[in-house]
Structure formats: structure tokens, C-alpha cells
A and B are shown apart, each in its own frame.
Chain A
Amino acid sequence: MITVVDYGMGNLRNVRRALEHIGSEVLVTPDPDAIRRATTLILPGVGAFGEAVTRIDGLGLRGPIMDHAGAGKPMLGICLGMQLLFQESEESPGAQGLGLIPGSIIRFRTALVVPHIGWNDVRPVAPTALLAPDGGCFYFVHSFHAGDTPAAVGTTDYGITFTAVVELGTVFGVQFHPEKSQAAGIDLLRRFAAFDNPEVRA
């Protein structure tokens, strides 16, 4: 079963539906105890970094999420959920991210229009079970992005080359929306859901 953390930001309906589409059992919950019991977590989210941190702390979810990752159980951050894995963000100075991935979230410094909205190509830059060998084309909508990090396994070009996919142990993050990325997104969710199977997990 895949547990989706509901901290009150973003539309979880589409994440649930995409997971059900690939045959996963899904629990969407804001309950810290349910999150402690989870075998596999998805941290979704749309909105501002600081507001998300406030809500996660307010609901008492930081501890359960950190323990989950600390126990080596699989976890995927999507969009803002990926950004929350980092230490901090220029969007909300002072707000403390989860710090599961080293590095910080920064504003796009490009001459191109921002937000970065639409379908863009993701290229693997390190071995990862999350991406197909040739990467894929995924739907993005964001104004901030992950800066350089040793956990980067996939990058995307938008004026600059930025980190679009991270992986560190069993902690994964994607800046794009797999649940909105048609076949490529479904494929990525299948790859992540495979970690939910204890026989597949190393």
C-alpha cells in the first residue's frame, strides 16, 4: 500500500487516481500514526514552501516522515513535495525543510518566462530505477527549482540545466507531476511503486 501524506496543500485526487490506475492500494491521510505505519510514502504538494513546512509541523508530521526515511523505507516527493526534501528554499527564507537531500531550492535565474510551465524532457545523469534509460517528457509547473546536489539523478534544460529528479538511498523526488504526465508519468509511478513490494526492495 502507498500512503499519500495529506498536509492540506494541493490536489491529492489526481495522485490517488494515478496510483489506483497502476493497481496500487492507496491511503491518503494527515494522520501521523498512519504515516508511521506506512511502508511507502508519497509527499505531494502544490503551493509555497514556507506554508507547507508550517502545515507539516503543525500536523506533527515531520517526525513520522523523518523516521520513515531514516528506516530506509521508500518515499517519493512530487513537485513542492520534492522541494521539501531539501534543507531550505529561497521562496521562504527561514523555513526549515526536511533536510533529507543536501542542497537548497532556488529561484529560476533565466531570461525565459517563469513559471516554467509545460512538457519538458528529463535526462538521466546517474543510474536510477525511477527513470526509463532515455528519460522521458514530463509536465512541469514551478517557479523554483533544486540547486546542485549530489543526489541529482535527472536534469532538465530551461535556460539553465536544473535538477529535476533526486535519489538518495530510498528517498526520491521529482520536480514534475508524474500524475499529470500521461504514459511517461504512469511509467515512473510504476517504477516507484515497485519499491513498495518487499521482495523488490533491497
Chain B
Amino acid sequence: MLHKRIIPCLDVRNGTVVKGVNFVGLREMGEPAVHARFYNDEGADELVILDITASREERRSILHVVESVADVLFIPLTVGGGIRTAEDVRDMLNAGADRVSLNTAMVQRPALIEEAAARFGSQCVVAAIDARRRVEGTGWEVFIYGGHQATGLDALTWAMEVERRGAGEILLTSMDRDGTQSGYDIDLLRALTSRVRIPVIASGGAGRLEHFTEGLTAGGASAVLAASLFHTRALTIPQLKASLRSEGVSVR
């Protein structure tokens, strides 16, 4: 049977792994390739790199990061951040990425999803959705530019649209939970996974073993992503997999 995936995420700025809380307050955590080799050997099922470099000019540096990481990985690599055109997608794939994640650019120009899917296949296109619970009213709103700009879009409606346009997977980050280690937003996950027919990666909030189990069972996610929890070695992937197995969740 298909196993649930454990995915460490490297947030990379100017070539260095960083991590913040609620999308701000970044601190540096080392070289991407060192993390990548560690996770490859530890039994991670996939690796995600998100480039959060601020300026467009400095973004070319991410290609070298992707190359250096791909060289030490024998598991799939998804890369996101700053990808605006089909050519950007091609550059990432040529550098060694297996899949790309789209976010701000696909909100501004949704046809990018179709273009990337038509040229490289849906399996290659991961739609990243950063969502925050609405303060007034119900539901969750989509944010772009690394959580800095509200879009007015409803996260569930947007998820259905990215699926219709050809995304092969959704990477769903709860901005409310990101970096808090208080658990994935299960309400958000459940609402979204029940509305789409493509796999969903849960992101934002993992802090304890039971959070991963919740995301994969009650939340309906196909994969769980975490960053600082793994980078600080507060939790290892073998520990996590043993815990999931004991809870009856199938992992590799």
C-alpha cells in the first residue's frame, strides 16, 4: 500500500537554511546540502526547499543550492519560492528538482499552473497555499509574498481551482500554526482534503509526535512536513516513523 510521507523542509535565504515563527523572526540554521544529506540518510521520504530570498537578483543563487542538494539526495526533491514562469520551472528541474511548488505567482496569474502542468506534467506541479483563519467570518484566507499580503481568496475555493487547473498536489501551510509547534490546523486540513481529489501535504505547527498522526489521520493528509522540529533534532525521523507505525499509520 501507499505509505504516508515524512517531509523535512529547508527554508533557504541567501543560500542558508533559516527558520522563523509565524513567518517572521528568521534565524540561521546551516548549509542546505548538509541538512539534505542528513535527511536522506535518516529515511526522509522527500525533501522540500523553499527559497525565501527577498530580491529577484539574488534568486539565481537558489539554483546552485538545488544543484548541491540534488547531488547528495536519492529521494525526491521539491523546490519552491520565486518561481514565476515555465522557464523558471525548467531551470529548477534542470538543476535537479523533481517537482516545483508554485505560490505567489500562480495567485497573480493562475494560467501558470496550466502552463507548467502542460509542459512538465501535473505530477511536477505542487500548489503551495498559505492560509490564515479569518478573524471575522468563517473559513481561511490565502496569503502571498511569504504571508505578507492578503488576497481575499478563500483557501478552500482556491484549492479546488488549483486542482482544476492541473496541480498534482497541494502543500497547505497554516500561517496561524507555523512555527508554534502547537499542532497542524486539523479543521483546515480536513476541510481542504475533503474537497480535493489530489494529495495534500500538511505544513505548519508540528511540535509533537501526535501532531503528525493527527495530520495524517483526522486531517486526511498524504504527507506531513516540518522544519525546525527536525533541524534542531528535537525529533528524529526514525522516532517519528516508529511512533506512526505504532499508531497504525503505514510508513516506509
Contacts and interface: CB of A to CB of B under 8 A. Distances in A.
Nearest to B96: A13
B121 A118 contact: no
B96 A11 contact: yes
B124 interface: yes
A100 B18 CA distance: 49
Interface stretch (A29-37, A54-62, A63-71, A179-187): A179-187
A117 B40 contact: no
Contact of B222 (A10, A48, A118, A183): A118
Interface string A5-47: 0000011011001100100000000000000000000000011
Interface stretch (A138-146, A147-155, A166-174, A194-202): A138-146
B123 A143 contact: yes
B234 interface: no
Contact of B2 (A120, A143, A183): A120
A11 B252 contact: no
Contact of B74 (A115, A116, A186): A186
A46 B94 contact: no
**Is the interface on chain B under 10, 10 to 19, 20 to 34, or 35 or more residues?**
35 or more
B98 A14 contact: yes
A115 B118 CA distance: 15
Contacts of B252: 119, 137
A46 B121 CA distance: 7
B76 A114 contact: no
Interface string B45-83: 110000000000000000000000011001110000000
B3 A143 contact: no
A183 B94 CA distance: 23
A158 B75 contact: no
Please classify the interface of chain A as helix (H, G, I), strand (E, B), loop, or mixed, using the class held by over half of its residues.
mixed
Interface string A86-124: 000000000000000000000000001111111111000
B135 interface: no
Question: Which of B70, B119, B122 has most chain A Cβ within 10 Å?
Answer: B122
A22 B19 CA distance: 36
A115 B40 CA distance: 23
Contacts, number: 98
**Is the interface on chain A under 10, 10 to 19, 20 to 34, or 35 or more residues?**
35 or more
A14 B169 CA distance: 22
A120 B121 contact: no
A120 B71 CA distance: 24
Contacts of B94: 11, 13
Nearest to B252: A119
B222 A11 contact: no
Interface in B109-127: 118-124
Contact of B123 (A46, A113, A181): A46
Given A139-B76, A182-B40, A114 B197 contact: yes
Nearest to A182: B74
Given A46-B123, A47-B121, A118 B223 contact: yes
B123 A118 contact: no
Contact of A180 (B71, B98, B120): B98
Question: Which of A11, A47, A139, A180 has most chain B Cβ within 10 Å?
Answer: A11
Contacts of A142: 123
Contacts of A14: 70, 96, 98
A117 B170 CA distance: 12
Given A18-B74, A118-B223, A139-B76, A46 B3 contact: no
10 contacts: A11-B93, A13-B96, A14-B70, A113-B196, A113-B222, A116-B2, A117-B123, A117-B169, A157-B1, A182-B74
Given A139-B76, A179-B74, 17 more contacts: A11-B94, A11-B98, A13-B94, A13-B96, A46-B121, A114-B197, A114-B198, A115-B198, A117-B222, A120-B3, A141-B168, A142-B123, A143-B122, A180-B74, A180-B75, A182-B75, A183-B74
Interface of A: 10-11, 13-14, 17-18, 21, 46-48, 112-121, 137, 139-143, 157-158, 177, 179-183, 185-186
